[in-house]
Amino acid sequence: MQRLVKATIDLPALRRNYALARCRADGRQVWPVVKADAYGHGMFEVARALADADGFCVADLDEGLQLRVAGITQPILVIQGVHSGAGLAAAAEAGLTLGVHGTEQLELIEKDASKLASGSLRLWLKIETGMHRLGLEAEKTLEAQDRLSGLAAVAELGLMTHFACADSADHPLTEAQATAFGRVALSAKGPTSACNSAALLTGCYRNDTVVRPGIMLYGASPLLGRSAAGLELAPVMTLHSRILAVKEVPAGCSVGYGASWTASEDTRIGIVAVGYGDGYPRHAPSGTPVRVDGCEVHTLGRVSMDSLTVDLRRAAQVRVGDEVVLWGQGLAVDEVATAAGTIGYELLTGVSSRVPREYRVAEAT
């Protein structure tokens, strides 16, 4: 039997968002971020749909190797780099570009570089500019560049950083990070890369040679207080399911686990075949928006593993079998995320493997 819950992935919408990123990149290379299974959209399908991308970014070695096995030939940046000699050798063999964010990684590369083929290593040093998460201090970066550029295995030495607050308009840390990166980037011997989606859209830094957009490609907003539609981004994933049952709950009766919602009047409710086992957030409170048959309704009571409940008092026409949109077309994932106290990134990446992905490859006519 086919599952009622599905995620439809609109590849033409992905390409339109990517075209917008290219336009904003204004001649810089665009390396889409496809880590975490392309934010839940399917890493292979997304990479193949963006066949003209200049490169791709993933979080770890396994993701990079999987893309190579799938036949992706563009440069691939492994953001977190490698953590062992075997990882270094595998990355060199597969022609992956490695982020280098700490002294342990530098020492590993210096120790093992002589075992690798000449010109087989592409390294991007990650600079600490204000995120205080991963990265080498500016002075250490300059010293590392000198040391690594003398190694025969090293073919490319890039520089990168990551903004902490580019999503908030005019946050002072963004300017401080841009200035700090710009200063070190003057010494660059290869590509430089700073911009994520938010930085690309705000234009807070324009001097890098490679941009790394993620969330904007998937049609969610990277900017606080700005809607995806207002930024001309189209939703790529629509998570949808169907009404499993419709019933009347008498006034005074509660619904669902924990009896957390009680009807104050006789209430028509719908049970939807989707739950936290599919990646719908269990912490979404009563009142989270859902679309049924073109109307916005709201959840009530607790989200269960395989179902949730919606209030149908203002949608009397809804019947068993009707389509329900949890987010995507007609209901922005950011709206659901705000109601659930999280971000679109978490909802999109959290859609579980039991939800079948269906790919739309052509523009709707």
Ligand X SMILES: Cc1ncc(COP(=O)(O)O)c(C=O)c1O
Which positions from 295 through 314 interact with ligand X, judged by CB under 6 A?
none
Q: Least separation, in Å, of the C-beta of 141 and ligand X? A: 16
Choose which of 196, 241, 267, 307 interacts with ligand X (CB under 6 A): 196
Q: Output the residue with the shortest Cβ distance to ligand X.
A: 214
Q: Count residues contacting ligand X (CB under 6 A)?
A: 11
Stretch of 82-90, 210-218, 293-301, 351-359 lying at the interface with ligand X (CB under 6 A): 210-218
| Residues annotated catalytic, as ranges | 35, 257
C-alpha dihedral (344, 347, 349, 353), degrees to nearest 10: -160
Q: Which of 40, 42, 214, 301 touches ligand X (CB under 6 A)?
A: 214
Residue 18 beta carbon to ligand X: minimum distance, rounded to whole angstroms: 12
94-100-102 Cα angle (round to 5): 145
Which residues contact residue 121 at a Cβ distance below 8 angstroms, ignoring those fewer than 6 apart?
Answer: 88, 91, 92, 98, 109, 113, 151, 153, 154, 155, 156
Query: Could you give the string, one character per residue 21-60, with x where binding to ligand X holds by CB under 6 A and - elsewhere?
Result: ------------x---------------------------
Query: Is residue 317 helix, strand or coil?
Result: coil
CB nearer ligand X, residue 110 or residue 346: 346
Residues pairing with 159 in the sheet: 125, 192
Could you give the CA distance from residue 297 to residue 111 in angstroms, rounded to a whole number?
60
Stretch that binds ligand X, among 138-146, 194-202, 240-248, 330-338 (CB under 6 A): 194-202
Q: How far, CA to CA in Å, does 304 sit from each of 165, 262, 272, 309, 362?
A: 34, 16, 10, 9, 35
Residue 68 carries which side chain, given as an amino acid letter?
A: R
Contact set with ligand X (CB under 6 A)? 33, 79, 162, 196-198, 212-215, 222
